[in-house]
Amino acid sequence: MQPVTKLPKVGTTIFTTMSTLAAKHSAVNLGQGFPDFDVPPLLVDALSRAMRDGQNQYAMMSGAPALRLAIAHKTDACYGVRPNPDTEITVTSGASEAILNAVLAVVRAGEEVIVLDPCYDCYEPAIDMAGAIAVHVPLDAKTFAPDWTRVREAITPNTRLLMINSPHNPSGAMLTADDMREVADIVVSHNLYLLSDEVYEHIVFDGARHESALLYPELRDRTFVISSFGKTYHCTGWKVGYCVAPPALTLEFRKVHQYNTFCTFHPAQIAFAEMIEKDPAHYQSLGDFYQEKRDAFRQQLSETKLKALPVPGGYFQLVDYSDISDLDDMAFSEWLTIEKGVTGIPLSPFYATPPKGQRLLRLCFAKNPETVAEAMARLKTL
């Protein structure tokens, strides 16, 4: 019997596709967004100790108490807001699970969710699984800044949720304080919920401030703020994230979470609690750590024919390859992998309708200097 797909637009993700191609052709993989350097030793030691100490069974559904308390302290230190660890913080199996939980918690069949294109590829499937409709509003094709007039025009009586992401994946663009005031005005005046994807919250550059939704009191009673330990602590494979939301939203969020994953890898939760407590300097200095990598990456790119776009935050660099090829981004990505041995991610899969003539590729600079040097040596032959 042939099943009727609930996700007709979903196939293999572009990240799996390009990483598989990279492995097949022994390419330097600057596509999928994962660091290739070590996890902090303190965190590894804490994980090992947690396992030896017997923290190997189910964690509490909402998250290990020590970790939720540590998240509360960290949130207070960063944003001047201390969420209640019992009623406002939930630990999840990565930010992707948290995004799905949040959408399923508040969005009903037939309702609409506004997403800003380009957007991360898990957003629309989550909306589809809720039986809802993704309404795509494009960001500026050059600066990736939002047009709030267009967002307002996209709102209908069926609109339920607005999804934002800053620092932005794939572009690295960041929302400003003026943007967040616009967001607050929109969601309050139209009585919408907000999902704020802040997984790159600590990777911001040039003295900028990350404009978390938590900084805006008018947003706190209607917002899911989603974060990722994988991005902050170089351990994307551990798949641990969390959601901060007011008690009423957390209650609905946990109803989904408990029948989705129920709980998350327990020893890692204990390890993250210790890491946050003992080494706050890690997340406090993360922007400087990655800014050095960004600047070195961009300097080396200047010796190639690729044009680097600005990178205010995150660990991705967009490059314009229009001086090299007229191929569309998917074809160019495949060609670059097969013929030159460097893999990036095309931008078109992040859009419902890609801009015509856009020639951009996403490269990840969360890599060791040796990895970058090998990639650049190959890119210089373009």
Model pLDDT for residues 311-343, shown as the tens digit of each residue: 999 999 999 999 999 999 999 999 999 999 999
For 103-116, how does the pLDDT look when each residue is reduced to its tens digit (9 = 90+)?
999 999 999 999 99
For residue range 227-279, list pLDDT tens digits in order.
999 999 999 999 999 999 999 999 999 999 999 999 999 999 999 999 999 99
In terms of phi and psi (left: phi > 0; alpha: psi -120 to 50; beta: otherwise), the region of 351 is: beta
pLDDT-based confidence at residue 5 (cuts at 50, 70, 90): confident
Q: How far apart are CA 267 and CA 112, in angstroms?
A: 38
Residue 10 has pLDDT above 90, yes or no: no
- Long-range contacts from 301-310, C-beta under 8 angstroms, 24+ separation: 301/376, 301/379, 303/376, 303/380, 304/376, 304/379, 304/380, 304/382, 305/382, 306/361, 306/379, 306/382, 309/171, 309/172, 309/360, 310/172
Domain ranges for the chain, please list them: 14-39+285-379, 41-282
Helix (H/G/I), strand (E/B), else coil: 320: strand
Which helix or strand (DSSP H or E) is residue 137 part of? Answer: strand 133-138
Q: Where are the alpha helices (DSSP H) in the chain?
A: 14-24, 41-52, 65-79, 94-106, 123-129, 148-154, 177-189, 229-232, 247-257, 266-278, 280-284, 286-301, 329-335, 369-379
d(CA 235, CA 77): 23
DSSP 346-382: ESGGG-SSPPTT--EEEEE--S-HHHHHHHHHHHTT-
- Higher pLDDT residue, 13 or 65? 65
Distances from the Cα of 275 to the Cα of 174, 235, 283, 328, 374, angstroms? 27, 13, 10, 44, 33
The hierarchical CATH code for the domain 14-39+285-379 is 3.90.1150.10
> What is the average pLDDT across 60-84?
98
pLDDT band for position 359 (cuts 50, 70, 90): very high
Nearest to 76 by CA among 231, 236, 263, 212: 212
> What are φ and ψ of residue 318, in 5° steps?
-85, 135
Q: Is the pLDDT of residue 2 over 80?
A: no
3 state DSSP class of 159:
strand
Quick one: average pLDDT of 113-131? 97
Mean pLDDT check: name the lowest of 11-20, 96-105, 171-180: 11-20
* Sign, Cα dihedral of 37, 300, 332, 9: positive
Dig out the tokens for 164 from the structure. Answer: 């934002």
CA quadruple 341, 333, 8, 352: dihedral sign: positive
**What confidence score (pLDDT) does residue 80 get?**
97
The pLDDT of 51-75, averaged and rounded, is 98
Q: Which of 259, 252, 264, 258 is nearest to 102 (CA)?
A: 252
pLDDT of amino acid 1: 78
Tell which CATH architecture fits domain 41-282: 3-Layer(aba) Sandwich (3.40)
171 strand-pairing partners: none
Q: Residue 12's pLDDT is what? A: 83
**Mean pLDDT value across residues 282-304:** 98
Q: CA angle 331-333-339, nearest 5°? A: 95
Instruction: Give the whole-angstrom CA distance, residue 119 versus residue 163.
Output: 9
